[in-house]
Amino acid sequence: MLKLLAAALITSAAMIGTIRFADADPVTITFRFNDTEQEVRGAIDAFEKQNPNIKVDLQRIGWKDARNQFLREAAVGQGPDVAHVAQVWVTEMGDAGATLALDDLIRKDPPPNGFADFAAQDLAKGKDGHIYGLPWTTDTWAMVYRTDLLKEAGIESLPTTWEDIRKDSEAVYKKTGKTGFGFPAGSSASGAMWFLANFYWWSHGKELIVQKPDGSYAIGLTLEDVTESMNYYKKFMDEGDNPRPNLAASDAHDPAIMQALITGNQAMGAMPPNTFKEALKAYEDANPGKPAPFASGPFPHQNNTKSSMIGGRMLVINANSKHPDAAWKFVKFMASQSVFADYYRTQFPAQTSLLKQIDFGAPLKGFADQFPYARTWGAYASGPVPIGTLWNVTQRAFGKALSGQQSTENAAKELLAEIGKQMP
């Protein structure tokens, strides 16, 4: 009798558990994404189909506002459950208490091949050693070219030095009347001049933040180094081969720059691979069956220097999320092979095992050539000044210099002084 009663209780308990699971109210999590909705819409739909009790509310925000907005919201207990962030923001966000430490979630429910399979693990950790982000995508920037415009300007080969880029950009403008090297020269926070400035410094064997042999940190650039780099990029503005309206553009995928490349009104650009893929697709959609006149190539570098970064994006969970388990399930799904194979094809996965399966193809060959000459942020990430601060200060200074609001020397002095104030 007792055995029958026990069996009945066990059965009842199991049924109650099943009923509770089946009847559980759907959980809604918010996912803030910084690129176009079409890149992830299919993946989100697939996740919701596989997990009918979890709904995902997609929010979009531009990169220039993403970091500061998330930090402001998290500080007052608000913000999305899951956020799409630059790799270099994660340490700062974790240290600020804005993001959830993922160690326990990874230990209980690890991603395939484990956390060790992901790139940029150092950037995923806070100074306390905890993991605050899951590396999602990896990339590097490279130069991209309209080969038909270069040919029209009499240029037969892709430039390999900074002087060649300057000369070829000028030649395109003078011989065709079109934009040569069109880059976003605006001063908005988290803009692209930060990257172009660092690529120029790195390729010359210099870097903004260095770690000394005794472990302390210092500014690695002189006033002359910064002024020289500003003078280089300012020539494109002053001579007209990068149009002044690009002073209002801060992102590589600014519509003005993308359209100029797609329609053949700009010969040269600098961008990550997902942006280049969007340009290629837009050209192919507008010109069905016509070969795309595009090529890519690495930024100029010496044999022993780097000229681009190994970058990418991570997914973080808000420290204020009321649904961390559902958020982690979503994060793991978005980093899975099926998402990159079936939906999120504009990006390269951050997992080493998946990256090895990538076929870059001819137009993106320059990105593959750039990878050996790309580097991590190194001392920038471990140093005393948050990368987000370095980024914003550099953007403002270059914006003032390129627009003519300040002389390049004064803007360079301001940049070094601002960073110097925050060094120990």
pLDDT for 380-411, tens place per residue?
A: 988 999 888 999 999 999 999 999 999 999 99
State how far the Cα of 234 lies from the Cα of 404, in Å rounded to an integer.
9
Residue 122: predicted pLDDT: 84
Tell me the mean pLDDT in the region 229-254.
Answer: 95
| Close Cβ partners of 283 (under 8 Å, ≥ 6 residues apart) | 262, 292, 294
Dump pLDDT digits (tens) for 162-207.
999 999 999 999 999 999 999 999 988 768 999 999 999 999 999 9
The set of residues, in sequence order, having a beta carbon less than 8 Å from that of 311 and lying 6+ positions away, is 86, 87, 88, 138, 139, 140, 141, 272
Least confident of 46-50, 66-70, 99-103: 66-70
CA quadruple 104, 106, 110, 115: dihedral sign: negative
Q: Two tokens at 281? A: 């697709």
pLDDT of 382 reads 83
Query: CA-to-CA distance for 365 and 77, rounded, in angstroms?
Result: 45
Q: Is 47 within 8 Å of 41 (Cβ atoms)?
A: no
More confident residue, 393 or 337: 393
More confident residue, 368 or 118: 118
The per-residue DSSP string of 245-298 comes to GGGG--STT-HHHHHHHHTTSEEEEEE-HHHHHHHHHHHHHHSTTSPP-EEEEP
The predicted structure's pLDDT at residue 8: 43
pLDDT in the model for residue 188: 85
Mean pLDDT of 220-243: 98
pLDDT at residue 352, as a whole number:
81
d(CA 258, CA 279) in angstroms, rounded, equals: 6
pTM, whole model, 2 decimals? Answer: 0.74
- Please give the backbone phi and psi of residue 361, each rounded to the nearest 5 degrees, phi first: 75, 165
Question: What pLDDT is stored for residue 238 in this prediction?
Answer: 98
Q: How far apart, in whole angstroms, are the C-alpha atoms of residue 192 and residue 86?
A: 13
The answer to whether the beta carbons of residues 66 and 34 sit under 8 Å apart is yes
**53 near 24, Cβ under 8 Å?**
yes
| Residue pair 58/37 in contact by the 8 Å Cβ criterion | yes
Instruction: Give the pLDDT mean for 269-280.
Output: 92
The one-letter amino acid at 127: K
Specify the pLDDT at position 355.
75
The pLDDT score that the predictor gives to residue 256 is: 93
Work out the mean pLDDT of the chain and round it to a whole number: 91
* pLDDT for the residue 368: 82
Q: Percent of the chain scored above 70 by pLDDT?
A: 93
What pLDDT, in 10s, does the model give residues 124-160?
A: 999 899 999 999 998 899 999 999 999 999 999 999 9
Task: Inform me whether the pLDDT recorded for 9 exceeds 60.
Answer: no
Residue 22 pLDDT more than 50?
no
Residue 233: closest CA among 207, 194, 261: 194
Is the predicted pLDDT of residue 3 greater than 70, yes or no?
A: no
Three-state secondary-structure class, residue 319: coil
Residue count (the chain): 424
**Close Cβ partners of 176 (under 8 Å, ≥ 6 residues apart):** 149, 152, 153, 267
* Mean pLDDT confidence for 49-71: 94
On the question of pLDDT at 4 being above 80, the answer is no
pLDDT-above-90 percentage for the chain: 74
Q: Mind listing the pLDDT tens digit for each residue in 91-130?
A: 999 999 999 999 999 999 999 889 999 988 888 999 899 9
Q: What is the pLDDT of residue 361?
A: 75
